[in-house]
Structure formats: structure tokens, C-alpha cells
Amino acid sequence: MRPSAALLAVLLLSACGATRRAVIVQPSGGDVEPRTSAPAPVHASGSYRVARGDTLYSIAFRHGVDFRDLAAWNRIAAPYTIWPGQTLRLSASGGRAAAASRPVATAGRHPAAPVFEQVPPQVHPRASVPLAEAAKSSSATPPATTAAAPVPPRSVSAAETSPKGATRNTGGVAWRWPADGPLIKRFQSGDAIPGIELGGKAGDPVRAAADGVVVYSGNGLVGYGELIIIKHNDSFLSAYGHNRKRLVKEGQRVTAGQLIAEMGATGASRDELQFQIRRDGNPVDPLEFLPAR
């Protein structure tokens, strides 16, 4: 018996949905899914092949460019839907990744971070499922990605969100310290992974440094372990690496001080938080933005 035209249409739409999806901006809380990425090399032509688990933000972060430039070079409109196997240009000319072309209003711009390789998958990925289209009213909608096998859920209680803490308004963002541990490494612009490191012990709380939307939650960047990236506005991202456990997922809205992860040693030799702030794709010294201790 031949399937009806309506059934064929449903099957075709389902196949398309498994290839790419948009991530809806979600409220705080909820389960977390791990994300891993298969190796996807940078080609000699300066292009990049999207791998399972990539987002536009994570690709821009890895190559030290502004996500808006990466989207513009590839004519990708918000909510920045990408899909595995897609080839992206890494510069306006198609050459190797360069610093973002958008001018920065402040002086002392740091050089772009080096390219990071991806780690191989640690779990067996499952086929992705379509989600609702991104919320139309949000300008901070994160990009599409593919899903991986779930981990045991952990809900964030109200008592764990937004504790009191000193803040500093810089660059249009109210910043606060993401962890209570001591500063064990200062920012150096020439470092392979530029940022600061905060000490502590496994399981210590890691909190959002400012209000924003989670645009990456995964372990696909070598040297960062379990990593979370939060978008605060069109200029600023913050990154939280080496976590033992991630407690938020992509598309989730978070508030300053909200618990987003547990400190750990993934990708590191000791328990610590590797913390970065990036302005227009470029790493900057977090101590110039965080409040005095």
C-alpha cells in the first residue's frame, strides 16, 4: 500500500527537523543535557565544517571572532540556526580566522584567542528533535544545535538563585564575582586560554556573573572541560570552564548570582573555575569589570 501524500509530507518534515533546530529561550531552571562534538577541522581555505553540538557562539568563541561577524560573513540571521555538515567562512574574505572587523570604542584591544580543537564524543549521540522557534521578542536568542544523551536531571532551587553580592556596572552590565574562591591566576593576554582562575574545591558553587542567556553548555572545546558561555548583551559574553557539573542548558535565561555549575577539574589539573569575559569576541581582563573584593 502506498503512503498518502499527507503521510509523506509528515515524514519529510520530520527528517528536516532532525537535521537542524532552533533553541527557544527558556526560563531559569530545568534539566540539563550534555553536549559533545565530533572533530570538525578548519580547512586550508579558512572555512569550518559544523559538527554535532556546535553553536554559532561556540564556533565564534573557539576562533576568537565576534558572533555577529561570523553570522554576517555567512548570511545567517537570528536565531542563528546552523546544522551539522554546514560549511562556514571564518572571515569576510574567506581566509583564516581574523580579529572581528567591527571597531571597538575603547582602546587597548587584546588579540583574538587562538583556534581550539574539538574533543571527540564521550557519549553516543542520539538524533535531535525539533523544538519551537526562538522567542520572537528576545534579541538574545541562542543558535541552533543538536542534542546528546541526557544526564540525571538536577533542578535549581529558589534558594540557590541570585544571592546577595557586590556588583560593578561596567560596559552596560552589572558584574559580580562568579565564585567565592581566591584568585589563583591573573589575566594574561598571551595565554592560550586567556582569563582568570579562581580556586576552591569540587562542588563549590559557580554562579552567573551577570544577567543573560546561556548560549553554550557543553564540553566540545579542548582545554575548557565542562564549559558554559553566557551572552549578556550584543557586546559581552562570559565563560565558565572546568566545571564538575553543568546545571543550566542552552537557551536558559539566568540572573546575576544564579547557580549555574559546580566547580571541578574537568580539563584541568586541580579544582578551579576558569573565568573569561569577552567583548566583541576578544578576551579582556575580568578584573577590570568585576567589583573590588
Q: How confident is the model at residue 111 (pLDDT cuts 50, 70, 90)?
A: very low
pLDDT at 76: 95
pLDDT in tens, 141-164: 454 444 333 344 444 443 344 456
Q: Could you give the domains of the chain?
A: 158-288 (2.70.70.10)
Q: Is the pLDDT of residue 85 over 80?
A: yes
More confident residue, 137 or 202: 202
Is the pTM higher than 0.75? no
Q: How much is the average pLDDT of 105-110? A: 35
Q: Any idea which residue has 580556586 for its cell?
A: 199
8 Å CB contact between 263 and 203: yes
pLDDT in tens, 25-79: 555 555 555 555 444 555 545 899 999 889 999 999 999 999 999 999 999 998 8
Buried b / exposed e across 216-234, counting CB within 10 Å, b at 16+? Answer: bbbbbbeebbbbbbbbbee
More confident residue, 108 or 268: 268
pLDDT in tens, 168-179: 999 999 999 999
Buried b / exposed e across 235-257, counting CB within 10 Å, b at 16+? Answer: bbbbbbbbbbbbbbbbbbbbebb
Give me the numbers of helices (H) and strands (E) for the chain, helices first please: 3, 14
DSSP 8-state symbol, 195: S
Q: How much is the average pLDDT of 253-262? A: 98
8 Å CB contact between 171 and 210: no
Q: Any idea which residue has 571597538 for its cell?
A: 104
pLDDT at 77: 93
